[in-house]
Amino acid sequence: MTPAEYRELATRFPAIAAAAIDYGFAVEIHGPCPLMGDDHSCAGYEHRARVCRMFPVTVTGHDGSDAVMAPSPSCPNAGTVTPRDIKEARRLNKEYNAEMARSWNEYRATHPDAEQMAVNFLASREPARSSACAPDASKTLASVIDRYFSNLAKRKGK
């Protein structure tokens, strides 16, 4: 989630901090979400992050110009996803990506450890990635974010 989304949730639900890893430009929740009740209801439903609002639609790939969205195979309600749900998830994903690009650019401009934090972030998402690949990983994240931000600016110019 974005740092802003995390701050909002942590203010309302301090228990979420125990599961959060704050990379400075992004925050991930590891393990079961502390806001999820035994009955699978969400204590923070009205304030949930975009990734939670998108679910059960997930990003399954990229077609070169846009994210490919589809129902999550891990959700028992995936069969109820409509084209409207996918359209809304795509909108939320673009909004999230734009905010993450701004967050990354701000973080990178003010933190000398930005590249290492990017490596840590990538490693958390792809644990199989070896530490030998770490320098390339940071450049990959930076280039992906830079490319997204550039493409976003081009789209706004059209």
Burial class, 33, CB count within 10 angstroms (exposed 0-12 / middle 13-18 / buried 19+): middle
Look up residue 77 and give its amino acid. Answer: N
**What pLDDT score was predicted for residue 6?**
93
Q: Domain ranges in the chain?
A: 3-157
Residue ranges, the chain, pLDDT below 50: 127-139, 158
50-68 pLDDT tens trace: 989 998 998 887 777 778 8
DSSP character for 47?
A: G
Which of helix, strand or coil describes residue 65?
coil
Strand pairing partners for 71? Answer: 57
Transcribe 70-87 into DSSP letters: EE-TT-TTGGG--HHHHH
> For helices 114-125 and 134-157, what crossing angle results, to 10°?
100
Strand pairing partners for 69? Answer: 59
**pTM tops 0.85, yes or no:** no
User: Residue written as tokens 């949930």?
Assistant: 48
31-43 pLDDT tens trace: 888 898 888 889 9
**What pLDDT score was predicted for residue 137?**
45
CB 134 within 8 A of CB 114: no
DSSP character for 111?
A: -
Transcribe 121-132 into DSSP letters: HHHHH-TTS-GG
